[in-house]
Every structure is written in C-alpha cells, then in structure tokens.
Amino acid sequence: MIPRDLLAAAVDELAAAGVASPDYDAAELLAHVLGVPRLAVRSAADASEEQVAEFEELVRRRAARVPLQHLTGSAAFRYVELAVGPGVFVPRPETELLAGWGVDRAREVLAAGRTPVVVDLCTGSGAMALALATEVPEAQVHAVELDEDAHAWAVRNLSGSGVDLRQGDMAAAFPDLDGTVDVVVCNPPYIPLEAFESVAAEARDHDPALALWSGEDGLDAIRVLERVAARLLRAGGWAGAEHADVQGESAPAVFAAAGRWCDVRDNPDLAGRARFVTARLAR
C-alpha cells in the first residue's frame, strides 16, 4: 500500500480522536513501522501487508490516546534518545529548557576550575541526568527515582553513562553529598489533585500517578525540593525546578519564603509560559 495513502487515512483517524498533532504522529508511527526517517515516509517503498496491519494497529492505539512514545518505544530529549514505555513519565520538550539551564550552570563551575557536582531529583526516565552527563562529561552526575518501574527505565537509559543512579525518596536522598553539590535540577510532580479532569488523557491515563499529582495546590513536592536542595547545595549553588504554567508566582514564592535563597526568578518556555523556577543558595 502507498505510504501517502496510509498517512492520509491515519491523519483523519487521529484528528477525529482529538489527537493534538495528527500529522506528526501519523508520520512518526509510519516511519517506525517502515524503519525510515520521518521525513522520508512519503517517498518510501510501498508497505507490505504485515506493515500495513502493524501501522493500523498502532494508529488505533494512538487514537485511544496511548502516548506516541509508548508506541515507538523511544523519546528524543535534547541530544539523547531515551527508552520509554508503561511505568515511566514521558519526557516533554519543555523540560529540555531546564536541562539546558543545568548544563549552563555546570559549565560555569567547570570554567571556574572545579568539577561540577550535579543532582537530578525525581529523575524518571533519567532524561535530565543523561543530558547533563552527555553534554558536560566532566561533571559528576547523581540521580534518584522513587518509583520502582520508573527506576527500571532509568537503569536502562543511564547504563554506561557514569551517572550515580539510586532508588529512593528525594526527601532523604544523597546525605553523603550534603553541602557539596553545585547544581540541583528536578522535574517534580506538580499537578493539583483538583485538576484531574483537565489533564490530557495521555498523561492522566498512562503516566505514573507518582509523577503527576502533588497535593491540593500542586506544590507539595516543590516544598520538599526546596528543603532538599538547601541541604545538598554548597553556598552559592543553584536549584532549578519545573512547574505548571499557572505556578509562575506560587513556585518561586516557595523559595522566596524560605529566606535562604537569592536570585529567585521564574523562567518561560518557548511559548512564553511560566515553566521553571531557579534560585541560588545564599547562605
């Protein structure tokens, strides 16, 4: 069957199901089945009957709002490719900005003549830890994840990277590093429990609950993060944490209220929405 005909039918099916990016998703799924780059699918050789059947099944599952990355088994994140699937939070493009901020801070430490020590709390798939270890190979990168299934994905993704990966609660993580860390990054859960119905089906039904919900106001994990980062960081060290776009004032307020941070500011994503808070330990 001709790829462009397969694509046309798939785009219609995905659009009718309310998928946000039907053209992109259809092309990604067909590229996955045919084993070609996404931009080459329209010029690819005709699909076999087996490939057509596989593609149509993947489109059906995507229309049922199974995450695209679960169907292809991978997610791109900055300069790395991650294995993902059921049981782990799928890394989003917005988080790449926070990872890039962490890379910049680590490189500043390196430029000052020291080996950067970086901690990724709530690492999930290991996305930010792997990005930091890849882009700043001189850094000592540490990561922790509580959820057993997500930790297994992180083990897979961080194998051979040199990252010190541990399983446990971020609240008690890395006591051996207290006062020695230069940069802490975290993409914590930050969705208020009352927002359940407004969350996209791909996240609500397929991402781990532990990676999504964080109390009545969505800030419970960020409050823990603030305390942990203050314990881990050396004086003048940096903390950065992602948050919901409606928390552009409330998330920085958690750090400001603690009275031990300076340079507290919020940072927008590429769409101009409030996305992550950064702060420097003042003590």
Instruction: Render pLDDT for 91-139 as a digit per residue (tens, 0 to 9).
Output: 988 999 999 999 999 999 999 999 999 999 999 999 999 999 999 999 9
Task: Find out whether 145 is annotated in a ligand binding site.
Answer: yes
Q: Annotated binding residue at 188? A: yes
Structure confidence at residue 245 (pLDDT) = 83
75-281 CATH fold: Rossmann fold (3.40.50)
- Is 22 marked as a binding-site residue? no
Task: Return the pLDDT at 39.
Answer: 81
Sign of CA dihedral 198, 200, 204, 210: negative
187 annotated ligand-binding residue? yes
Residues 6+ apart with CB under 8 A from 170: 121, 122, 144, 146, 186, 188, 224, 225, 228
Examine the pLDDT at 196 and tell me if it is beyond 60.
no
